């Protein structure tokens, strides 16, 4: 492991310098990786593993025709590399359980019945294991239980792999039956294209992940954008102006400066007026949102958010309800304005990467 200073705290991370691809292939040379679910993470991780030379098969329920057909379009061959879930589990030695959290609970009894001594049960999220009282996902003692959690959607796991950038991932070992759980975990982590891997636990991963998704990464970001857009529109600003000041400048300019060298560097490369205003208003936004984040974390930690996910996502009509909710966002004035703004952007290499990424969907799973 490499020891890296993260803001004064040293942490161990693993890159391909410490764990090269050749070592990963050697560790997994006798393994068959069965990727269960071809929805969000499944396509990205399986395609990256296949491109890197690992033995991979897909387990996908045929009744989810969209995902089955997408797997076939990605050159997974029925009866050879594409199977129903039950058969894939029987054939695999590392079982990547990449269906949705609610679906994991639903199919777990069948998965458990097909596991063999020495298999590795792999997750990309700590949800089912940490909240086992609610999910009932309790692995037998004779298997390894491991996790590699990419810090991005399946779309970006694949896109970053194709561009050569890689994506950062956390990893954890919950149960080591074979004595090889950690090296199997790291080998798969390198195989899916991780830029670097940092250690965590199943519990820490799910607490941070659920908080982040509901907070800054998705929920808070969308809510803050809608609030600012609404204020601008109600004060007479056009949809184009409101969208550009709320979303476009953030995603196309400022966040890229943060990505390059940090928030302070972004501030130092803006006008003095913008810089002063940002520094003055940052504490106000922190004070306003800190109680919300504290409430959010406690709900995650207590399992209330888990209960909400399992209750809502497990409903038979959930996909139809989800489609309506997402369409309401997409058809709102702000995001219709966004469609118009994006259509005016010059075509870039990033656009080409997106268009050439095959077999990846940013939404939906079993």
By annotation, the residues acting in catalysis are 125
Burial status of residue 37 (CB atoms within 10 A of its CB: 0-12, 13-18, 19 or more): buried
Buried b (16+ CB within 10 A) or exposed e, 295-332: ebbebbeeeebbeebbeebeeeeeeeeeeeeeeeeeee
What is the phi-psi region of residue 37: left when phi exceeds 0, alpha when psi lies from -120 to 50, beta otherwise?
left
**196, 13 in Cβ contact below 8 A?**
yes
Query: What are 178-185's contacts with CB under 8 Å, separation 24+?
Result: 178/118, 178/120, 178/144, 180/27, 180/144, 181/120, 181/144, 181/145, 181/146, 182/146, 183/27, 184/27, 184/28, 184/31, 184/94, 184/120, 184/144, 184/146, 185/120, 185/122, 185/144, 185/146, 185/147, 185/148
Within 10 angstroms of residue 56's Cβ, the number of other Cβ atoms is: 24
The encoded tokens of residue 280 equal: 């003055």
> Rounded distance, CA 292 to CA 76, Å?
45
The encoded tokens of residue 247 equal: 């979303």
């Amino acid at each position: 492991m490499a020891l890296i200073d993260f803001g004064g705290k040293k942490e161990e991370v693993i890159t391909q310098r410490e764990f090269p691809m050749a070592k990963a292939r050697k560790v997994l040379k006798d393994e068959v990786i069965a990727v269960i679910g071809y929805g969000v993470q499944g396509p990205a991780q399986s395609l990256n593993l296949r491109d890197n030379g690992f033995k991979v098969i897909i387990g996908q329920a045929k009744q989810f025709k969209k995902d089955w057909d997408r797997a076939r379009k990605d050159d997974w061959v029925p009866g050879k590399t594409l199977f129903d879930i039950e058969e894939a589990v029987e054939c695999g030695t590392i079982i990547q359980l990449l269906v949705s959290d609610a679906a994991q609970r639903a199919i777990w009894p069948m998965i458990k019945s097909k596991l063999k001594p020495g298999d590795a049960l792999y997750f990309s999220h700590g949800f089912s294991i940490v909240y086992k009282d609610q999910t009932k996902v309790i692995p037998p003692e004779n298997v390894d239980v491991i996790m590699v959690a990419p810090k991005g959607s399946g779309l970006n796991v694949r896109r970053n792999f194709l561009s050569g950038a890689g994506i950062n991932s956390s990893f954890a070992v919950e149960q080591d039956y074979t004595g090889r759980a950690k090296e199997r975990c790291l080998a798969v982590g390198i195989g899916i294209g991780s830029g670097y891997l940092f250690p965590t636990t199943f519990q820490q991963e799910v607490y941070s992940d659920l908080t982040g998704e509901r907070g800054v990464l998705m929920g808070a970001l969308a809510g803050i954008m809608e609030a600012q857009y609404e204020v601008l529109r109600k004060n007479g600003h056009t949809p184009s102006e409101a969208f550009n000041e709320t979303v476009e400048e953030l995603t196309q300019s400022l966040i890229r400066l943060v990505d390059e060298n940090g928030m302070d560097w972004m501030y130092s490369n803006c006008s003095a007026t913008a810089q002063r205003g940002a520094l003055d208003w940052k504490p106000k936004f922190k004070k306003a949102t800190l109680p919300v984040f504290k409430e959010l974390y406690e709900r995650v930690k207590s399992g209330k958010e888990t209960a909400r996910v399992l209750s809502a996502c497990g409903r038979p009509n959930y996909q139809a309800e989800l489609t309506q909710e997402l369409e309401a966002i997409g058809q709102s004035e702000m995001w219709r304005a966004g469609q118009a703004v994006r259509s005016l952007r010059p075509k870039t290499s990033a656009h080409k990467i997106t268009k050439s990424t095959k077999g990846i969907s940013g939404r939906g799973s079993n």
